[in-house]
Amino acid sequence: MYDAIVIGAGAAGLMAAAEAARAGRSVLLLEKMEKAGRKIRITGKGRCNLTNARPAEEFMDHVRANADFFNVAFSEFNNRATIRFFERLGVKLDIERGERVFPHSGKAWDIANALTEYCEEHGVEIMYHTRVTEILTLGGRVYGVKYINRRGFERKEECENVIVATGGVSYPSTGSTGDGYTFADAMGHTIEPVRPALTPLRTSHPQREYLNGLLLKNVGAKLYVDNELRQEEFGELGFSERGIEGAVALRVSRAAVDALIDQKRVKLVLDLKPALDADTLRERIRREMADMQPEEFFAELLRKLVPKNLVVPLAKEVDFHSKSYISKLTDTEIERLIKILKGMVFPITDYAPFEYAVVTAGGVSCDEVNRYTMESVKVKGLYFAGEVLDIDADTGGYNLQVAFSTGRLAGQLKK
């Protein structure tokens, strides 16, 4: 009989299994996919932003739900400890802009492989293509799991400690399909409503189809909910068939999604020229116009100010045809152009589904989990770790750290 069964070989499950095995426990790790860390391998655009090196207090500001709860796991195994941990495993790391930490190789699989090998070295037994279907309990205690093995047969394994590290429901193709919520619900746990977070936002802007493929490197963005300023961000933002994405859009998406669910009016107002105030922008436009021939098109003036995809949408918003001569441009139209460049409004009417969401907000209520051990307060021997819990954070390496810290603590099995 094993001392612990871990369900899910993602960031949290691998860390939990390794920690339990390191302390001399016999551990069985059950993973329904063909290999470990499928999601880790696609993180950070294939480079894996594994944590963020900011000081602890600043780090906590980026945890959006249940930061107090998470703080205990984080103090036991924080971002510095994570950096040391991977460097000891031989993975050289770099700290990049925004204190984001990546493997020096630029390869996310180095992180997934290092964790998997670390588990194997400590004797964790890993079974792939093995889907847990039920957690067995009796009299408020865990006594094992039922699973379907790689040959399709149902099996039972008895064990007094089960760690649920099944992730959320985002990017389900990586194996995270929300099974942990079903298990937790069946054992009487409250599941906070799950919704996509860090997900592209959909706009009803009439010219949105012109914008597909547009990437804006330095943009100011203000999120308004029912006309009240809710969040202000600066950085990169892009448009694709998935919606408005990029770091800025993802950062505001959590508040936007919640507001949309509450049926509030949401808009994103973009400052396309954040480095210039209105007066400087006016001077710049006048200067550009002075250098142009009167019979040059408005489109050519716009091209000097913004990327190509924005030319037609801007011309339409200014209500001055892109193929009209700049000599015909009135002061009123120039003022309108300045206003739009400093605040182009994108009504947000929807958001991309879980298939495109980087993380899942909501999940197993932290109120029913002991923050010092990650053990359920309802069922003895049942532990939770990672995204299955109602904890989510900003982009920047924070979510993997949540998985590593909670996984590490759960793997200590109450000490």
Q: Which positions lie near ligand FAD, rule CB under 6 A?
A: 7-13, 30-33, 38-40, 42-44, 48-49, 131-132, 165-167, 170-171, 175-176, 179, 358-359, 386-387, 397-400, 403
User: Three-state DSSP class for 163?
Assistant: strand
Q: Which residues pair with 103 in a beta bridge?
A: 93
Q: How far is the CB of 131 from ligand FAD (least distance, A)?
A: 4
Query: Are the beta carbons of 388 and 366 closer than 8 angstroms?
Result: no
**Residue 170 in contact with residue 357, Cβ under 8 Å?**
yes
Please, which residue, 40 or 114, has the CB nearer to ligand FAD? 40
b/e sequence 370-387, b meaning 16+ C-beta within 10 Å: bbebbbbeebebbbbbbb
Question: Would you say 20 and 5 are in contact if contact means Cβ atoms under 8 Å apart?
Answer: no
Spatial CA neighbour of 21 closest among 42, 48, 2: 2
Q: For ligand FAD, give the closer residue by CB, 62 or 342.
A: 62
Specify the length of the chain in residues: 415
14-29 burial, b for 16+ CB within 10 Å, e for fewer? bbbbbbbbbeebebbb
Q: What's the closest the beta carbon of residue 13 comes to ligand FAD, in angstroms? A: 5
Minimal distance in Å, beta carbon 43 to ligand FAD?
3
The residue among 11 and 344 lying less far from ligand FAD, judged by its C-beta, is 11
The smaller minimum CB distance to ligand FAD, of residues 39 and 254, is found at 39
Closer of 164 and 315 to ligand FAD (Cβ): 164
| 26 and 3 Cβ atoms separated by less than 8 Å | yes
Smallest gap from residue 36 Cβ to ligand FAD (A): 7
Residue 25 Cβ vs ligand FAD, minimum distance, rounded to whole Å: 19
Task: Provide the minimum distance between the beta carbon of 398 and ligand FAD in the complex, in angstroms, as a whole number.
Answer: 6
Q: Which is nearer to ligand FAD, 33 or 219 (CB)?
A: 33
CB 143 within 8 A of CB 382: no
